[in-house]
Amino acid sequence: MEWTIQQLADSAGITSRTLRHYDEIGLLPPARVGHNGYRHYDTDSVSRLQRILLLRELGLSLPAIAEILDRVSDEDPADTEDAALQAHLRVLEAERARIDDRILALRHTLDTRAGAEGSLRMMLEGFNDPYRDEVIARWGEEAFEASNQWWHAKSLRQQREWKRDLDDMIATWITTWKSGHAPDSTPAQSQAARHIAWFRATPGTPLADGDRERSIAMVTAMADMYADDERYAAAYGDPNCAAFVRDSLKEYIRRSL
């Protein structure tokens, strides 16, 4: 039996152009070529094409398939294909290991950049947007809107500078605590004054508005939140440090506000 190139292509679910390419590279020559130049394929051609398509589906390259099929006449076809597939499996496993290594490296990079990504999110959303309902409940919607407008009026450079100042303030709190200072010590009270100045610089806060009674309530509430609310306490790295910040701020209130 014989089939034309179009008949074989249709039966195999490929294009006649693919069969012509296989012929051009010597992978699947036709059984004969008619005087009119038409290619004709026989049962042996069909069997060879089946093997080619199977090996292609498994991911082997055309040169590798050609090498396998060229050895079939001298060896057991099943053994030859098994050996080739085992070799290809080793290549794929090595590639998977390489990709796994790259995935681990990328995850490490993302983990180390997590803080930077959090900062970018703060810059885009607003530094107090995640706490909108809480801010409004405690200090009113006008306080939230005032601080939000102030934040978004800043340039990206100014927002980054603000975030660096905040990070530095937190780092100094941690250093002060680790140095063994008491909440009523001069270094702790100096840091508390800096923290109060940071509050005062934010529009919408009672400190910025000069309301003494509400300022005391605000700083007291924030001091307690630093120690009791894990969202805030986590920034200080240790619950004892967060408690140190709370006690230092409350001591400042007692002395100065």
152 and 196 fall within a common domain: yes
151 and 105 fall within a common domain: no
For CA atoms 191, 192, 196, 202, give the dihedral sign: positive
What are the E-state strand segments in the chain? 3-4, 32-33, 39-41
Taking a C-beta distance cutoff of 8 angstroms, is the pair 5, 38 a contact?
yes
Q: Which of 110, 143, 159 is the last residue of a domain?
A: 110
201 and 135 fall within a common domain: yes
Q: Which of 54, 79, 110 is the last residue of a domain?
A: 110
Tell me the mean pLDDT in the region 20-26: 94
82 and 139 fall within a common domain: no
233 and 157 fall within a common domain: yes
pLDDT of residue 101: 62
For residue 178, what are the domain limits?
Answer: 125-256
Its pTM surpasses 0.75: no
Which tokens hold the place of 31? Answer: 């059984």
List, in sequence order, every residue forming a beta bridge with 32; answer none if it has no partner.
40
166 and 69 fall within a common domain: no
Q: Which of 75, 110, 145 is the last residue of a domain?
A: 110
C-alpha distance from residue 37 to each of 34, 69, 125 (Å)? 5, 26, 70
Residue 113 CA to its chain's centroid (Å): 9
pLDDT of residue 122: 53
List, in sequence order, every residue forming a beta bridge with 41; answer none if it has no partner.
3
116 lies in some domain: no
Q: Whole-angstrom Cα distance, residue 21 to residue 209?
A: 80
57 and 166 fall within a common domain: no
136 and 234 fall within a common domain: yes
State the distance between the two ends of the chain, measured CA to CA, in whole angstroms: 103
DSSP 8-class letter at 127: T
120 lies in some domain: no
14 and 97 fall within a common domain: yes
φ and ψ of 185, to 5 deg: -75, 160
Q: Whole-angstrom Cα distance, residue 132 to residue 147?
A: 11
Where residue 67 sits, what CATH number does that domain have? 1.10.1660.10
Count of domains observed in the chain = 2
pLDDT per residue over 87-144, tens digit each?
Answer: 777 777 877 777 776 676 566 555 545 555 555 555 555 666 666 777 777 767 777 7
Range of lowest pLDDT (10-14, 37-41, 64-68, 72-76): 72-76
The better pLDDT of the pair 201, 146 is held by 201
Q: How many CA atoms lie within 13 A of 257 on its CB side?
A: 25
